Structure 1
């Protein structure tokens, strides 16, 4: 594929990706904006309907105040004057006030006069039982001069908007002497009038009837907020909801206002226009960019490619490329011309270097020979020519010289394979030893084209290696003899120490009579030093047994948790003296392991005692155990001084400590970790550690569950 096609693919791919990103961004941002605008507009229009119902409540309240604060009404609730009824409460009163209910209740809670009418059929009807029940339980009765009750109550004939005002003598002054109750049904005619005024489709659902799913979904949300809530009903309709509350403020009904999704539809149409515009713009800009790049870049690159092909074909580095302009391509052509000049100079220098190379190789004492794939000498330096036995190939092993192959290429390939990266020693008839190395040289496709042979005389080094090997054998024999001697001396070394420790303990316990304080202190020092020396001897003897391969493991099945608790209790006094806590974190349901219980106890004791010894005061030592397949992993961590990276190699080596200053502060022989490593490895496990200066250390080991052989 040429550059022009590649540029076309890249340009149109970039503009296609850019166009898609713009379309996605426009869709996400603009559509979200239209959705937000639609929601705000819906909530705003729904709020107007809610305000209309609130205005209706205020209108009824104004009527209630006019009647309740009228002095004639105050006298009426006390006298129940027929004249007041004849003058003010005739059959048309409710129709003129556009009310369904009007009740007068005296201060004792007794209804002294009531009016109830069906405004649709123009007939008188009984007062709804819900109103009378509200009067009886006091929910619709004013209890003081300022008591104002309003809200929606649910009745058998539907929800009713109720306003209750205290009857006062004088305009709002008092005293209180009864309650005036006015009510109006929120019925179909009222909802229809609201629909005409707001040009909206309305639907009302109450708690005492089964609500549609969308009402059930939005009821709790509308009940928690004082305003309206929003919901999309489909591609063409959207709705706003608000709650109607009773006289105590509890929601008892939910009203929904439906609206067409005109804003959303307009937004989608605008987005479609934007998509078409972005697509056309992307195609136009991509096409213009492609033609511009062809003219400014591709045609000039083709000229450069043709020129380089001609130079390669003619092998003439004296030609020069002519290119107009002052841009990167012009500078590239200038660089090509300079490169051709450099190649021409390099060809001249190459011949001089060939001579220098020959001179240098001839001055070497080492042998350098270049052979062709048939192992015929192509070139040899002066040192090789002086040793004809090496040059003729007499040193080669018989296997490489006795290759049987009928095909010449097969024979060459097999010979090269036997010599690939090979080295061997050869002794000449003069008694000199040479180390000869052979390496095949291959072309770019991996086919062998030559063999490079080099050789260096190692006569003296060979003699030194033989002496060193003999000395090493003698040292190993001496070390093994030492280890066997120490392992066999365990009884002779331990018996006198046990006697010293035993008798010093008897003296300290005053078995043979009373001792003064100085004598007790001296005896205590004898016992402590003897026990310390016995521990050192035990570690040395154990290590010697390992080196002499005489340390035996006594296998049994046991629980690790028992060992952890035993070692923790043993180290508790030492840890408590430094204020150090020892925490055990054992994985649940750890199985029993198969190993030498005493030796595993020795490993854990060494690690935990080291952790306590090297921890700072009031620190914490954590011991963790977990199962990983057929292995148990144990880690002991501390918050102590840590170990520098350059000292990590000293760990687990016998008789090795970090530094002299540490050894003075923290006493020890350096045998503990070496024994830990040997014992764990005898079980078929591994040891590991992590440490950093000032951040503590973590020592761990892994043991197989079922012994060394699993």
Structure 2
């Protein structure tokens, strides 16, 4: 059987098997892929609804913090000042805040001033009994300055979002005066607004009511395993479920979001088109492949075989094989022709190469000399011959102050454990300086069989090195002057910028009167830009203080877990906007540490902000802290874009970013990691990192428990 028939059988057999495998694989993989894609899309859309409720909680919490950390509120809890009520607690207060409940509770746990309205009917109503009962039981009252209570509570009137904050004097550092409770019903109006914002159909059932069968099917998954569940409701609908939890973290209700199964239906329809297309393509391609192989491959291989038989028989290497085309077979024919020609040209090419080497070495301006084992010159280029005094002069070895003859240096190279080369300097009578290098040439056994000498004139380079040294000294003086100037300008730069931020915040909070929507947006832009600018100035000034030697640490004893929680709360809105989770793993037995809390919090903030900034959406940032002997080891890991090995040297350098394209996408000055390194080292600690492109990064540092080790 010839090659053509074999190709026919093999081609159609392969395409029949391939078509069958593709149909089976398409049905299995694509159908599964469409199901998985539908599930992921449902989870993503459902998580957006869950995130919207989380943002609602954050919005209520921001309002609670504004009121609870207000000095006038602190006085009002004890005095019940009518002036405070008249100025701040009129009938429109809860409507303006879009809240149903506002309760002021003193430190004894007694409600001193309640407010409760029906937002839908616009009427004052009594405070729900369920809230009062939980206040009496202490569930909704704070006891410490840092208490923060939030969640969903079940009332007879319906579920309600609750946020409770301690009433303090002077933000979070003052004494405790009581509790401020804010609440908003998750009623039909709120559900309708969520449906409008998320373009979905929502259903809410509390755990104390009879739930439909589909809710019971996913009950354990969304309440015990704490995940978003997906359930197919039929050929037309798919649903996502998640749990709402009370102030203690226990599930109290399940929310369902319904979506049409358009993606899965379109995928199923597409599969049938793929099956037909694969069958037709298999038949057409198999036939075309057979005829193409016959024309492009088989017939040309036969021609090559005939030509080689003829050359072998006639022993005539002058013949040439002519083959049309620009493919591999054509290149094979050219290779055969070149192989025949190379036999005649080999000797000529060898002579030409020898001439080229000699010409190149003679055209060099550098000295090249080859000496035999007896130190006799075996070969020297024209430059070496023109400077004959360099071949015999005494030279100064760079590692030794004593001048030596070249022969002595050569003998030194022949000794056991000799250096790979030696460098020497020589100044000619004309005043030119040469750098000469002697390098042994060894055989396979490691024995020195010759010495290669090379030399280059370095007169201008020596002059440049002297000028460069003086320029470096001038630059260092200028840099120190700059650092001293920036360090001394700290107050002058920060004071006016703090005033701009402070007054813009007052305008944004409408302290001086109402603003329209455009004015509020403009004032908010002023405040956020000012704060961003202040942060940049602080980073530059801090680094300048380090360079000027005026950066000081203020040591105190504190719990590291408190600093972690503070940074996590600060970054939560930023992380939540990208769907990123921040996980803290802190050793339970971790003792208090002695350090500058503000600066170490700054280190954690810089590292965790970078981790969130450079993480992919829906990723995870993990922060770990554990004790090792007398040190605390802290690591911050992300699952983001990672850092290429070639860019590792740029990290921890001031004003250095990985590349300009990243600097446009991820804003920053490049000072964050530089300050991290300086602050950790001032504490007597060390910084390390590991990263790989596409696999995230891990930054870590260790600091002593009892302050800097002197």
For normalisation by structure 1, the TM-score amounts to 0.43
Please identify the structure whose Cα radius of gyration is greater.
1
